[in-house]
A = this chain, B = another copy of it.
Amino acid sequence: MSSNCQVRTDLALEARESVENTGGKMSGIRVEEYDIEEHGIHVTKVYVDTKNAAGRLGKPMGTYITIEADAMVEPDEGYHREISLCLAEELNDLLSEEGEKEEQSVLVVGLGNREVTADALGPQVLDNLFITRHMVKIYGKAAVGEGNVNLISCIEPGVMAKTGMETLEIVSGVIEETSPNVVLVVDALAARSTRRLNRTIQITNTGIQPGSGVGNHRSALTQESLGTPVIAVGVPTVVDAATIVEDALDKLMGPEKVFERGALSDLNNMYMTGKDVDEVIKRVSYTVSEGINIALKKGLVLNEDV
């Protein structure tokens, strides 16, 4: 990278590529990969094990799972159930690390701005979740189904420009009152490469960092800030405008030509997205919400099987 600033990506996968491309050392980072060939799904797990590696990557220590599936962006009658199933499995792996519970109480947080199409992933995922907490509280577990039942609740905190409050303030307050075991945060992300847009799901146990997401969050939503384990699920829906120009320049001018990122200041707060973003977000949101629904129900089914 010819500029001095860090190119912006919310994907640990891309951050790692970026470090590797400049000849960076990769100690402290483990990588596992597998394919589900019949469905064209590629899964990469990046474990950032040391503070040193975290610093070089610009991402906190923890696990980053990336599900890549080109089909995700395309129409499909069944809303890509195969991708939902893969997401459910990986989610359950991370959830089980947070401690096996007979009954999980999960708060799903849909970040983003419903009014801005590319930033609407979080809110749209909430629209298709199977919410159970109120039914169990009012009618008992029998109202929802047999066996152990997870208590699922959700909140759409909105964006600071409209609420006047930090997302952290709202989510902290809701956690204090409802005491979930785990928080699942869903957000639209920024990728570095247009090739990954809407084709990739990242799952991580490191939560949401300041400056990430389409809306550039100001404060972290992490186990440290919330006092509860946080799993973040994100899909890149935009590319940061300055980043894409920088990458094009690198490609065309060669890495030896140094230029000032300041020359691109016009592009601050601009992002790039596709023209069919509405249909794509609608489909991808459904795939993600189904993955979450299956994961949270699966926990129940697994317990029942015992």
Residue A304 at the B interface, CB < 8 A? no
A135, A176, A244, A251 — which one has the most chain B CB atoms within 10 A of its CB?
Answer: A244
Q: How far is the CA of A135 from the CA of B152 in the complex (A)?
A: 34
When the two chains form their complex, are residues B267 and A274 in contact, meaning their CB atoms are under 8 A apart?
A: no
Q: How far is the CA of A158 from the CA of B97 in the complex (A)?
A: 31
Q: Which of A19-27, A29-37, A61-69, A110-118 contacts B (4 or more CB under 8 A)?
A: A110-118
When the two chains form their complex, are residues A253 and B251 in contact, meaning their CB atoms are under 8 A apart?
A: no
A115, A253, A259, A269 — which one has the most chain B CB atoms within 10 A of its CB?
Answer: A115
User: Chain A interface (Cβ within 8 Å of chain B)?
Assistant: 113, 115-119, 126, 131-135, 151-156, 158, 160-166, 169-170, 172-178, 194-195, 214-216, 239, 241, 244-245, 248-249, 251-253, 259, 263-264, 266-267, 269-279
Residue in B closest to A241 when the chains form the complex, CB atoms: B272
A-B contacts, 30 listed (Cβ < 8 Å): A116-B278, A117-B118, A131-B164, A134-B166, A135-B164, A153-B164, A154-B162, A154-B164, A156-B156, A161-B279, A165-B174, A169-B174, A169-B177, A169-B178, A170-B173, A170-B177, A172-B173, A173-B175, A173-B176, A173-B178, A176-B176, A176-B177, A194-B267, A194-B270, A244-B245, A248-B267, A249-B252, A253-B253, A270-B274, A271-B273
